[in-house]
Structure 1
Amino acid sequence: MLKLKQVKSFFLQTLIITTITLILSEITFRIYHKINPTFLFTDRSYNRWRGKPNSQDFNFTLNSKGFKDVEFTAEKPEGVYRIIGIGDSFSFGIVPYPYNYLTLLEEKLNQNNQQIELINMGIPGMGPKDYLSLLVNEGLEVQPDMVLLSFYIGNDFMDNQFKAKERQWDKSYVISFVRSLIKLQTQYEGLVFNPSNSLIYIDNAPTHNDEFYLNDTKNKSNMFVKNPADDIFEGYVKDAVSDILKIKEICDYRNIKLVVVIIPDEVQVNQKLQSKIVKMFDSDDPDKLDFRLPNRMLKETFQENNIEYIDLMDEFISASRQTRLYKPNDTHWNIAGNQLAAEVLFRNILEKYPNQLK
């Protein structure tokens, strides 16, 4: 009887200590995240994956706002044509700053002594609703002449829904912290964002393990299914576009040129990866997947609403036959992919907006 009481007392004390520890941990994590936002915790803002101000990204120092760019003034210098690049981790880039497509594009636009400033406002982990929030909260105050919005086919359609579900289930910062650590330990082989200055970028080093990357790509590829049994993806498209339409309204009202860059997913341009994914669907119909479907849906809506866009898909399909454009087991461009994007965007921008860039 005494032993039973001791056991009960032990478990009761353990329960009390555990509960107090969890409560204190929850409070501590929330205070820490408020002061120093980090991707380890889920929140409602677009700052979860934002770079730490003045921190190192390879051999480059992020600016005082945590953007992967040099310092800039809120007031636009006289005679300068200012472009802001808004996007997610593609805009922030996993390559070092000099190889980022927005950095390269700015250099190309200024090669004839032009006065064009391209501010990279890319923040990893953002989606369409975040693009709208970033424009309103931080973009408009720098008086841009053009907004170059990078829309990634791979996840920007679904980001709004995924983040809403994530916020719904991860109300506890402790649970969010544990889940983030598990993901880092089980899904990644290489580096996550904001490596220390001592680390060197390796262009051919894989980020995720093979199994995770293939399964993740397969799951995303449901958007390419022709004649699906439901219209869930169509709803995702409408939701994502609704935020871009709001951005368009704001830009039109402020006399700002809006150009959307449509960034293809690797499976849309890499034939070898495409073949693996088609086999994973295990279908009798070899044409079950239409890898151009999301682009067509997006462009049709853009055309209906007079939203200007540059679709990179055809150029990336052509170039990928000879050159790898994405980092191994990663959704992001490698150095060659960033270089190609900069070249294609430069040609299109120069051709379509020559008067604005004089």
Structure 2
Amino acid sequence: MNSTSENNKKRKSIFTSKITLIIEGLITAIIISEIFLRIIGFSNPLFYEYDELLGWKLRPNASGWFQKEGGAYIEINSQGLRDREHNFKKPDTVLRIAVLGDSYAEAMTLPVEETFWSITEKKLNEIKPYNNKTVEVINFGVGGYGTDQEFLQLKRDVWNYSPDIIILTFFAGNDIRNNCRELDLSTGKPYFTLENNALILDTNFNKRSEIKKFISNMGKYPQRLFSQYSRLYQLYKLYKDYKHNMEISQQVSGDTIAGQEIGIGDAVYSKPTDPKWEKAWAITETLIVKMSEEIKAKNAYFIVLPATTSIQVHPDTNIRNQYIKKMNIKNLAYPEDRIKILGDTFGFKVIPLIKNFQVYAEQNKKYLHGYENLKLGFGHWNREGHSLAAEIIVNYILTNYKNIK
């Protein structure tokens, strides 16, 4: 009996020792991996978190390097904006401009001081067009947002800052698709539908049981700590993002030519014939008109800024013409022209960019989109694109909004 008991104790001791060694080995491996990832400069912080109304939002006080395209050290303020801190209460000596948009406005590819909204603020304050008033530009841009989320963001968040001018950065390359459930690839966001020309909000994405909401909220703060400080967790998130992007790219048509990029639908460059795209345009235009009506009711000014796609302003006219021929269209300005007509019809301003961008790109033989660490001529505005956009915005505001008091 004693021999059997002793053998059992030995087995348990050996088993415990093995488990302890495995745990110690795992902890050591994690520590070494964390140190190694820091030594090589790896960083991929989680900048977003769940939002019950909008689907996601920027995570307050998040910070870290963004290096997927371009590169900048990103700091999100305490209100969840990719901007410096701003008080809700607007001083009498300040004229405020709120910028709404997706990743074009969020602009994580560049340092803040090189973004179009920051340059716009700086240039206007150098010129001082509003007597003793200082211009303050507040950036509400969030990557991946559609016009639907921006409309909801306007109603819930933007008015807290009492802006005088609202600029909607509208990117036809994916905003139209993002506004239509049948075309969009995301299931984690709100959508609007049109019923008798009325917008009906659908927030089924956030229908979770109370217990799931409780568990989610309990896990929010540990996740923030992991995402901010654990390089291994950041590496895991990078892998998940890469896998998700690969899945999306496989769903998008592979029939590409020079100058065309994945994620930008061909359908945006011509009048839609597909009922889904007709619906997407109808929802998008209704959202913009409703946004315009609300802004007018608040005695503020509304400007739509149609951001360019890379092919629209490619410096090589041969590549643009090749794409135009392939699409059997007259030019690449259909989405911008359609928004301009909408603005003329419903009384809001639209700042056209395509022509000025094309002239600049051709004359200077410069790409206004893309970065060397990804691909020049593709993707978001680069430093020169942001600078040119700011110059056009400033000139437009000085010409059309001299009498704001």
* TM score, norm. by length of structure 1: 0.71
CA contact 1:55–1:66 (8 Å) conserved in 2 = no
Which protein has the bigger strand share? Answer: 2
Number of the residue aligned with 1:127: 146
Q: CA deviation at 1:272?
A: 3.9
Q: CA deviation at 1:186?
A: 8.1
Pick from 82, 88, 112 the counterpart of residue 74 of structure 1: 88
**Structure 1 CA distance, aligned partners of 2:180 and 2:273?**
19
Number of the residue aligned with 2:54: 46
Q: CA deviation at 1:47?
A: 5.4
Q: CA deviation at 1:320?
A: 1.1
Report 1:19-168 matches (<5 A): 45-46=53-54, 48=56, 50-56=58-64, 58-59=72-73, 61-93=75-107, 94-113=109-128, 114-161=133-180, 166-167=186-187
Q: Relative to structure 1, is the Cα distance of residues 306 and 65 closer, same or farther in structure 2, using a 3 angstrom cutoff?
A: same
Q: Does 1:261 align with 2:309?
A: no
* Cα shift readout 1:168-210 (whole Å, capped 9, x = no counterpart): 899799xx9986440357899xxxxxxxxxxxxxxxxxxxxx9
* Cα shift readout 1:222-276 (whole Å, capped 9, x = no counterpart): 22246x6535433322211111111112111111111111111111111548737
After superposing the two structures, state which structure 1 stretch, 339-348 or 148-157, moved more: 148-157
* Cα shift readout 1:10-49 (whole Å, capped 9, x = no counterpart): xxxxxxxxxxxxxxxxxxxxxxxxxx986698x7643535
Matched residues, percent identical?
A: 22
**Structure 1 CA distance, aligned partners of 2:401 and 2:355?**
21
DSSP-derived class of the 2:149 partner? helix
Number of the residue aligned with 1:204: none
* TM score, norm. by length of structure 2: 0.63
Q: CA deviation at 1:215?
A: 5.0
Q: Does 1:183 align with 2:244?
A: yes
Q: Does 1:221 align with 2:262?
A: no
DSSP-derived class of the 2:243 partner? helix
Q: Relative to structure 1, is the Cα distance of residues 83 and 40 closer, same or farther in structure 2, using a 3 angstrom cutoff?
A: closer
Q: Relative to structure 1, is the Cα distance of residues 147 and 229 closer, same or farther in structure 2, using a 3 angstrom cutoff?
A: closer
Pick from 293, 300, 320 the counterpart of residue 334 of structure 2: 293
**Structure 2 CA distance, aligned partners of 1:253 and 1:158?**
28
CA contact 1:40–1:177 (8 Å) conserved in 2 = no
Number of the residue aligned with 1:241: 285
* Cα shift readout 1:149-173 (whole Å, capped 9, x = no counterpart): 1111211111112586521899799
CA contact 1:237–1:298 (8 Å) conserved in 2 = no
**Structure 2 CA distance, aligned partners of 1:320 and 1:51?**
36
Number of the residue aligned with 1:28: none
**Structure 2 CA distance, aligned partners of 1:166 and 1:110?**
40
CA contact 1:69–1:119 (8 Å) conserved in 2 = yes
After superposing the two structures, state which structure 1 stretch, 63-72 or 84-93, moved more: 63-72
CA contact 2:172–2:307 (8 Å) conserved in 1 = yes
CA contact 1:146–1:257 (8 Å) conserved in 2 = yes
Dislocated runs of 4+, deviation >6 Å: 168-173, 176-179, 185-188, 210-213
The answer for unaligned runs of 5 or more in structure 2 is 1-44, 66-71, 190-203, 213-236, 250-255
Q: Does 1:316 align with 2:377?
A: no
Q: Relative to structure 1, is the Cα distance of residues 346 and 51 closer, same or farther in structure 2, using a 3 angstrom cutoff?
A: farther
Q: Relative to structure 1, is the Cα distance of residues 243 and 37 closer, same or farther in structure 2, using a 3 angstrom cutoff?
A: farther
**Structure 2 CA distance, aligned partners of 1:274 and 1:260?**
29
Number of the residue aligned with 1:30: none
Q: How many residues align?
A: 293
Q: Relative to structure 1, is the Cα distance of residues 302 and 260 closer, same or farther in structure 2, using a 3 angstrom cutoff?
A: same
Structure ID, larger Rg: 2
The answer for unaligned runs of 5 or more in structure 1 is 1-35, 189-209
**Structure 2 CA distance, aligned partners of 1:282 and 1:300?**
25
CA contact 1:48–1:125 (8 Å) conserved in 2 = no
CA contact 1:86–1:149 (8 Å) conserved in 2 = yes
Number of the residue aligned with 2:6: none
Q: Relative to structure 1, is the Cα distance of residues 290 and 51 closer, same or farther in structure 2, using a 3 angstrom cutoff?
A: farther
Paired AA for residue 124 in structure 2: L
**Structure 1 CA distance, aligned partners of 2:171 and 2:341?**
17
DSSP-derived class of the 1:85 partner? strand
DSSP-derived class of the 1:106 partner? helix
Paired AA for residue 161 in structure 2: V
